[in-house]
Chains A and B, each alone.
Chain A
Amino acid sequence: MINQMRADLYRQFHTVGFYILLVFTIAFSLFLTLTQQVGGIMVTDDNKAKQLDTLSHSPWSVLSGLKAVTMSTSILPYAFIALFIIVIGYEFSQQTYKNTLLSGISRLQFIGAKYCVLLIDLLALTLVYYATSLLSSLSAGREAGESWDNLIADTIIMTLAIAFFMSVIFSIGIIMLVSTGSSIVSVVLIVIWPVAISMLTVYAHWSWLKYIDFVTVGLNVAFSIIPIKQLWPYIGVSALTLAVTIIGSSIIIQRKEL
C-alpha cells in the first residue's frame, strides 16, 4: 500500500494539473486575504452570517484573514475535484488500474492507498491555502489579532477539520466511481453533495442531516461553533462513512468484471 501511495505521489508530481491546482490555491488565498473578500458556496445560517458581518465591518488582522479564508473553503471542494481526477478518476477512465492491480496489491490496499493519497493532498493544499493567507497578512503589515501560539494552533485545527471532512465527501465519490466506472457521475456527486445536504438541512428540517453535511461540519469545527465535547458524533459518522466507502469500494471492485 505504501508503494502504491508513493507511485501515486510520483505520478501526481509529474502532472501539470497538480501544479495548476497549487497555483490556484495560492492565488485564491492571496486574493481573499489581500482584497479582504469573504464568501463561498453555502447555505448561510445565523452563526455564519454573524461571522461574515463581523469580518466585513472590522479592520483585518492575521486572524480575521484566516477566518475569511475559512469561510471561503466551501469553494475548495470544487477546485480540488481535480485532485480526485488525478489520483483515481484517470485510472478508471484510462483503465490503468489493471496494471496496478496486477502488481499484487489487494483491492482494499488499492482503495485505501487512493484515499490516503487524497487525504495527504487535501491536507497539504489546505495547509498551503492557510499558510498563504497567514504570510500574505503578515506581508501586508497586519496585526496578529491573537497570540502566535493560538494562531498556529487555529491554523492546524482549521487545516485538519477542513481537509478531513472534505476527504469524506471524496470517499463517497470513490465508491460512486468504482460502482459506475464513470468519473462524471462521481464528480457530479461531489459537486452536488455539499449544497444539496445544506439545502435539505435548512428546508426539510431533518436534524440528522447535519452529521453528513461534511463541508459545514468542517467549517463549524474550524470556527469552534461545534465544541469538542459535541464533536464525537460527527467524527463517528464520518469514520463510519469512510469505513463503508473504502471497504464497500474494495468489495465492489473485487466482484466486478474489470
Chain B
Amino acid sequence: MEQAVLDIRDVSKQFGTFKALRHFNLNIRRGDIYGLIGENGAGKTTLMKLITGLSPMQKGTITLLGERVGSHQQALRRIGAIIESPVAFEKLSVEQNLKLSAIQHGLSGSSYIDQAIDFVGLNEKRKTQAKHLSLGQRQRLGLALSILHHPDFLILDEPINGLDPSGMMEFRNLLKRLNEELETTILISSHILTELYQVSTRFGIIHRGTMVKELTKNELDTANKAGYVVTVDNTPLATQIMDQAGVGPFEVTNKHSILIRNESLDPSQINSLLIQGGVLVSDFRQQEGSLERYYLNLIEGQNSKETIND
C-alpha cells in the first residue's frame, strides 16, 4: 500500500467573511509530483501555509508525514518549502545563507552545502550576496535552501512565477531530477497549467477554495483529448439521445455545452440525430486539444454549478 505523505481532510479556512478553503480534501502519495492548479486567490497559498503551520488551523485535519499538523513541529524537519517567494538574508552570500540554514537544521560539514549548490547550479555565484542575484538565481537559492537537508517532501508555492522560458525549463528539470534522483515527493502550485503539465504526475484543480477535480497525468491526457463541442438548448435531452445512439465518450462541460471526445465521428450525423430528437443545436465545432481550454471549461462548469446552486 502506498503511504500518504500528506493527507488533508475536510479543511476549511475563513478570513472574516471570506472563505479561503471550503471542506478541502487532498491526498499525496510518496513519489508524487503533485501539481495544484488554481487562479490567483483560489486558496493555494492558504493551503500551503496551513500545511507548513504558518497559518493556524480552523477546521479539519492535516496529517503531514504521519504527524498531525498543529500538535508538533517534528514533521517540518523532514520537509522543505518555498511559500509565496523565496526569502534569504540579502547581505549574506549564497554559501553563507546555506551555511546558516545548515546550522539551523543541525547539519555538520560542508558536503550538504556543496551538494545543494551543485544541484541548483549556483557554483559560480556561491560567494555572491543574495541581493545581487537575478530572479531566477534567487529561485534557485530558495530551492537550494529548501532541499539542503534532503527533505522527504518539498512544497513549492508558485516557484516559476516571473521566470523566463529558459529559467522555467531549468527549474522544471531540477524538480524532475529531485523526484527521480533523491525520491523527493513534491507539491507544486501554479496558475500555469501547461507548465505544471510538463512536470507533475498528479494534478488537483482548486477553485474558490474547493477541490474541483483530481486526476493523474494519463487522465488529464484523456481529458485533454481533442473533440467536438456541441452547444444545445437542452443538455439532458441531448445526452439521452447520444447515449441511445452510442455516441461517445462525451462530457457535459457546462449548462449548454457537451464535449464529445471522439474525433472519428461524423458531425453531420450527430447534428441530424439531435435535431430530429427535438434538440436545438446552436453551435457544433471541432476543438483542438488544449490544457488551458480544459482547465477553463472545468472552471466554467464549476461556476455554472455554483450559480445554479445559488
Q: Which of B15, B52, B104 contacts A3 (CB 8 A)?
A: B104
| Complex contact A96–B73 (CB within 8 A) | no
| Complex contact A14–B73 (CB within 8 A) | no
> Separation in Å of the A21 CB from the closest CB of chain B?
15
| Complex contact B54–A7 (CB within 8 A) | no
CB closest chain-A residue, reference B75: A104
Interface of A is mostly: helix
B58-87: CB near A (< 8 Å → 1, else 0) gives 000000000000000111110111010001
Please, how many angstroms separate the alpha-carbon atoms of A64 and B52 in the complex? 56
Please, how many angstroms separate the alpha-carbon atoms of A106 and B72 in the complex? 8
The stretch of B26-34, B88-96, B206-214 in contact with A is B88-96
> Separation in Å of the B1 CB from the closest CB of chain A?
27
Count of B residues near A, CB < 8 Å?
A: 31
| Complex contact B83–A105 (CB within 8 A) | no
> Separation in Å of the A67 CB from the closest CB of chain B?
39
List the B side residues contacting A258 at CB < 8 Å. 49, 54-55
List the A side residues contacting B87 at CB < 8 Å. 94-96, 98-99
- Range class of the A interface residue count: 20 to 34
List the B side residues contacting A103 at CB < 8 Å. 76-77, 101, 104-105
Please, how many angstroms separate the alpha-carbon atoms of A4 and B73 in the complex? 15
Known contacts A4-B104, A255-B56, A258-B55; A11/B89 CB under 8 A: yes
Which residue among A16, A102, A254, A258 has the maximum number of chain B CB atoms within 10 Å of its CB? A102
Chain A 1-57 residues near chain B, CB threshold 8 A: 3-4, 6-7, 10-11, 14-16
CB closest chain-A residue, reference B15: A257
List the B side residues contacting A152 at CB < 8 Å. none
Q: Does A241 contact B (CB under 8 A)?
A: no
Chain A 96-148 residues near chain B, CB threshold 8 A: 96, 98-106
B151-172: CB near A (< 8 Å → 1, else 0) gives 0000000000000000000000
Known contacts A96-B89, A99-B145, A103-B77; A254/B104 CB under 8 A: no
Question: Which A residues lie at the B interface, using CB under 8 A?
Answer: 3-4, 6-7, 10-11, 14-16, 90, 94-96, 98-106, 254-258
14 pairs across A/B with beta carbons < 8 Å?
A3-B103, A7-B104, A10-B99, A10-B103, A16-B91, A96-B87, A96-B88, A98-B54, A98-B87, A100-B104, A102-B76, A102-B81, A257-B49, A257-B55
Known: A14-B91, A257-B49. 11 other contacts (CB 8 A): A3-B106, A7-B100, A94-B87, A98-B87, A103-B76, A103-B77, A104-B73, A105-B73, A254-B56, A256-B56, A257-B56
* A-B pairs with lowest CB-CB distance, top 3: A104-B77, A104-B76, A7-B103
